[in-house]
């Protein structure tokens, strides 16, 4: 059992020589603190200090074993490594906290910038909406002022047209207007002889496809009717529309190239091009090459192909009208000759047959127009249904070649509309 040493002797040189004094350390007080002679913690601290002092004495006297020294050195290394590890962890923690704070500050800054940008865009949108409302109010006020203006200089018809143009229209009203206008325009063109003449009876049709379908469906009846006469049936190859179609396609290609070139020079020109000739982005589908030349070359090519197409169509119409007139005359004379003979198998008169065909085609046209209205221009050019035509003349009436002029433009010549600067309007655009 270790003895608790509490007394300490102090020696020093005094005036009377060497002096000494023995002091009981248990009775000493540190920093005015009360003596704690019976405290267990105090005793343990004193014992630890004594053991540490004895350890240093043993170490200086080489009384500690080598294994204990190595274990002590290893323990010190472990403590040093642990302290270094804790310092490194603390440094990494501080760096992570600083990075997180910087990231949070950057995120907040970005949020503030985005909020400011959104607020700016909202203010701009509100300002644009306000300006648009003010402009609309000014337009309405100007329109109302013009409508209420009763001066002598005011144009009443112009004011009424402006008022009608500003009125909202339903889709059904637009469709009805498109159908009526398209039908009336086609009838007007057909009555003026602008179209393609059938070589069977001289009837006029609005497009190449329509006259080809008409010839194919009625050729058998005409051939059967001509079998009892001395007039041979005309050969279909002699009245082929391949040349007319090729000339029309060349004219359309030249016109599309000219429109595409003008749209490249002026983007606003694309609004005057048909919707069917533009892609989803509103640009012309027709592609240009370096060999096409400039606008003057394209315009000259368009004009030359137009004249060639018109000349080809006129020549074909003259040939077809002559053939139709001959067939009508043969059938009419045969009908007059056989009128005095006993009736055999009745053969329908060409005029009546043509009239029945015309009525059937009118019914087909009405059924076709009952659907969704197509574009006005495409009603005039691409409609497959027949249009009102001149029926085969009876005996004593004028022949189709005399009543249908052949020097007018075909209804699918789209130059009249395009040179006027008016685009093909579809139902959706109207």
Pairing of strands 17-24, 204-205: unpaired
pLDDT at 159: 73
| Mean pLDDT within 385-411 | 40
pLDDT of residue 419: 39
Percent of the chain surpassing pLDDT 70: 71
Instruction: Pull the structure tokens for residue 75.
Output: 């323990």
Distance CA 180, CA 100 (A): 73
Read off the pLDDT of each residue in 33-47 and give the average, rounded to a whole number.
Answer: 73
Give the list of residues 6+ apart from residue 9 with CB closer than 8 angstroms, or none. 20, 21, 22, 23
pLDDT surpasses 90 at 44? no
What pLDDT is recorded for position 19? 82
Q: What is the pLDDT of residue 34?
A: 60
Q: Which of 395, 288, 290 is nearest to 336 (CA)?
A: 395
Q: Please, is 332 exposed, middle or buried when counting C-beta atoms within 10 Å of its C-beta (0-12, 13-18, 19+)?
A: buried
The predicted-structure confidence for 101-143, as pLDDT tens digits, reads as follows 999 999 999 999 999 999 999 999 999 999 999 999 999 888 8
Alpha-carbon distance of 6 to 227, in angstroms, equals: 156
- Give residue 405's pLDDT band: very low, low, confident or very high (50, 70, 90): very low
Could you write out the DSSP letters of every residue in 67-107? HHHHHHHHHHHHHHHHHHHHHHHHHHHHHHHHHHHHHHHHH
Q: In whole angstroms, what is the distance from residue 61 CA to residue 69 CA?
A: 13
Average pLDDT over residues 277-295: 88
- Higher-pLDDT residue of 350, 8: 8
Where are any strands of DSSP class E within 258-342? none
Quote the pLDDT of residue 116. 95
For the chain, percent of residues with pLDDT exceeding 90: 33
307 has which bridge partners? none
* Average pLDDT for the chain: 76
Mean pLDDT of 47-75: 89
Q: Per-residue pLDDT averaged across 257-262, rounded?
A: 92
Confirm if 376 and 178 have CB atoms less than 8 A apart. Answer: yes
For the chain, domain boundaries: 177-419
Count of beta carbons in the 10 Å neighbourhood of residue 105: 10
Q: What is the pLDDT of residues 338-379, one digit of tens each?
A: 654 544 444 444 333 334 434 444 444 443 333 333 333 444
Judged against a pLDDT cut of 90, whether residue 415 lies above it is answered with no
Mean pLDDT of 173-177: 89
pTM over 0.75: no
Contacts of 162 (CB under 8 A, 6+ apart): 143, 146, 147
44 or 401: whose pLDDT is higher? 44
User: Which has the minimum average pLDDT: 51-60, 242-251, 254-263?
Assistant: 51-60
In whole angstroms, what is the distance from residue 254 CA to residue 258 CA? 6
Whether 251 and 221 have beta carbons less than 8 Å apart is answered as no
First to last CA, the chain: 116
The whole-number pLDDT of residue 167 equals 83
- For 238-296, give the DSSP string: GG--HHHHHHHHHHHHHHHHHHHHHHHH-GGGGGGS-GGGB-TTS-BS----GGG--HH
What is the residue whose two structure tokens read 């004094």? 21
Looking at mean pLDDT, say which of 9-23, 157-171, 175-189 comes out highest: 175-189
Asked whether residue 312 carries a pLDDT value surpassing 50, the answer given is: yes
């Amino acid at each position: 059992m270790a003895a608790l040493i509490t007394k300490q002797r102090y020696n020093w040189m005094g005036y009377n020589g060497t002096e000494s004094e023995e002091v009981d350390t248990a009775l000493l007080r540190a920093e005015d603190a009360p003596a704690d002679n019976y405290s267990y913690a105090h005793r343990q601290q004193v014992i630890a200090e004594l053991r540490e002092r004895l350890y240093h004495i043993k170490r200086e006297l080489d009384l500690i074993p080598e294994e204990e020294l190595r274990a002590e050195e290893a323990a010190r290394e472990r403590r040093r490594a642990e302290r270094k590890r804790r310092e490194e962890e603390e440094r990494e923690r501080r760096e992570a906290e600083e990075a997180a704070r910087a990231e949070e500050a950057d995120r907040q800054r970005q949020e503030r910038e985005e909020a400011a940008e959104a607020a700016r865009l909202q203010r701009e949108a509100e300002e644009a909406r306000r300006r648009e409302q003010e402009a609309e109010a000014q337009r309405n006020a100007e329109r109302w002022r013009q409508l209420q203006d009763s001066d002598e200089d005011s144009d009443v018809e112009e004011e009424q047209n402006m008022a009608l143009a500003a009125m909202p229209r339903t889709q059904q009203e637009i469709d009805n207007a498109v159908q009526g206008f398209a039908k009336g325009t086609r009838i007007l063109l057909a009555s003026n002889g602008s179209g393609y003449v059938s070589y069977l009876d001289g009837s006029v049709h609005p497009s190449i496809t329509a006259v080809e379908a008409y010839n194919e469906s009625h050729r058998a009846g005409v051939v059967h009717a001509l079998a009892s006469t001395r007039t041979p049936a005309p050969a279909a190859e002699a009245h082929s529309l391949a040349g007319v179609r090729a000339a029309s396609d060349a004219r359309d290609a030249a016109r599309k190239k000219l429109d595409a070139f003008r749209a490249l020079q002026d983007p606003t020109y694309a609004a005057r091009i048909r919707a069917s000739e533009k892609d989803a982005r509103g640009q012309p589908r027709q592609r240009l090459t370096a060999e096409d030349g400039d606008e003057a070359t394209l315009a000259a090519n368009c004009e030359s192909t137009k004249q060639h197409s018109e000349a080809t169509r006129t020549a074909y119409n003259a040939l077809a009208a002559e053939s139709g007139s001959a067939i009508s005359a043969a059938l009419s004379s045969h009908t007059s000759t056989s009128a005095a003979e006993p009736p055999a198998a009745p053969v329908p008169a060409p005029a009546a047959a043509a009239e029945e065909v015309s009525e059937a085609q009118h019914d087909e046209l009405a059924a076709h127009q009952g659907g969704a209205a197509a574009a006005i221009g495409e009603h005039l050019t691409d409609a497959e249904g027949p249009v009102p035509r001149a029926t085969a003349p009876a005996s004593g009436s004028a022949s189709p070649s005399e009543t249908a002029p052949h020097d007018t433009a075909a209804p699918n010549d789209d130059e009249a509309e395009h040179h006027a600067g008016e685009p093909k309007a579809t139902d959706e655009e109207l």
